[in-house]
Amino acid sequence: MELKWKTCLKAGITVIFIYIFIRYWEILSGFLGLALGAVKPLLLGCVIAYIVNILMTFYEKHSKKLVASARFPLLRRAACMLLAYLSIILIAILIVCMIMPELINCFKLLIREMPGVLQDTYIWLEENFDISSYSSLDFETYLMELKNFDWQSILQRAGTSIISGLGDAMGIAAGIVSATVSWTVTIIVAIIFSIYILLGKDRITRQVKAIINRYAKKETAARIFYVADVFNSTFHSFIVGQCTEAVILGCLCMLGMFILRLPYAAMIGCLIGFTALIPIAGAYIGAAVGAFMIFTIAPFKALVFLIFLVILQQTEGNLIYPKVVGSSIGLPGIWVLAAVAIGGGMFGILGMLIGVPFAATIYQLLKNDVYKTQSKA
């Protein structure tokens, strides 16, 4: 087979790029990190816009049914966008208002009861182990040893350590303030950018399609649009299904705690539902906080709560979650569990969040391609 010069040229350029990528990886990684930090507000704005757009599209769809006239489309879009942002903000405020006051009260109760608990613990140890016999110390011997210490050098070292510690503390405080300001500015810029995206989403979509159609071949452009459509539908269905599953789990947890007469039923149910946004393992994160809160009132009921939540989580993880989320994105239950396990192992919580929709997208693309190939054969 005769090799064409274009093929050899492409292979040579590819090898050169691979060598440069490996040889100057440290420089390239630093440049990529700097570039990623610069575009981070824009990327975060795209993510915010995508999530808000799900609720905004819902409001737009129903507003068209209520208002048949399309005289002011931009005004209606702005109203639906504002309503979507307000809905998300109100839900977040409701969750915080339900969780934080009770959590603060639990810490106050723990601090208030701690001296009595320590005293009761000391009395119990004294009655069962006679710990007073271990407290007889030869204080005169210790006092003689203390007099021989070089207290001047000890105080000098302590002063030096304190000054050094204050400098480190000031550095840490400055770093925290700088990071807080940086993240605040990033979030504000991201929200502003997301607003511009949502208001002009139709125009942006047309522009992107026009660019792809202009610079890509017809078949390549069609494949890009197809893959993007599958990604969009899968992530959209996953977010909706995940929120639905979180509401179901939170309501079941609240109902079960009411039946078992466990304290903080409404608050812990809300907390479990919120943490359930993290696939499969999210409810266990809320379990630690919930068990701690119940433990401050009734330790035995905390054990009952943990047993109940384990049973509920196993039932939800094996029956409800694969049905609600798996069916909404077209991914079988076994692959949902596998995607969560692999994604969480590789990228932590972020991997759990994006692992399922990403796996569903790959699954759908492969499924369509295989069936298309078989139908041609």
Of 85-89, 213-217, 228-232, 290-294, where does the model show the most confidence? 85-89
Q: Any residues with CB less than 8 A from the CB of 338 and at least 6 apart, and which? A: 359
Q: For residues 269, 272, 277 and 280, what is the CA-based torsion angle, rounded to 10 degrees? A: -130
DSSP string across 279-316? TTTHHHHHHHHHHHHHHTT-HHHHHHHHHHHHHHHHHI
Please report which confidence band the pLDDT of residue 136 belongs to, taking 50, 70 and 90 as the band edges.
very low
Task: Give yes or no for a contact between 84 and 56, defined as CB atoms under 8 angstroms apart.
Answer: yes
Highest mean pLDDT: which of 180-184, 209-213, 271-275?
A: 209-213
Q: For residue 167, what are its two tokens?
A: 């400098």
Instruction: Measure Cα distances from 43 to 102, 154, 193, 207, 336 in Å.
Output: 35, 54, 9, 19, 26
Distance from C-alpha of 278 to C-alpha of 280, rounded to nearest angstrom: 7
What pLDDT does 341 receive?
75
User: 254-293: buried (b, 16+ CB within 10 Å) or exposed (e) per residue?
Assistant: bebbeeeebbbbebbbbbbbbbbbbbbbbbbbbbebbbeb
Mean pLDDT of 320-338: 66
Q: Dihedral sign for Cα 198, 199, 202, 203, please.
A: negative
CB atoms within 10 A of CB 38: 9
**AA identity, residue 2:** E
Report the interhelical angle of 25-66 vs 5-23 (nearest 10°). 100
Place of tokens 């401050």: 296
Per-residue pLDDT of 341-374, as tens digits, reads 777 777 666 677 777 778 878 888 887 777 665 5
User: What would the pLDDT profile of 80-117 be if each residue is shown by its tens digit?
Assistant: 889 999 998 998 888 888 777 777 777 777 677 666 66
- The better pLDDT of the pair 186, 31 is held by 186
**Cα 207 to chain centroid, rounded:** 32
Write the pLDDT tens digit of every residue in 290-316. Answer: 888 888 788 888 888 888 888 887 777
Distance CA 263, CA 293 (A): 9
Cα–Cα separations (whole angstroms), residue 214 to 118, 148, 217: 75, 87, 8
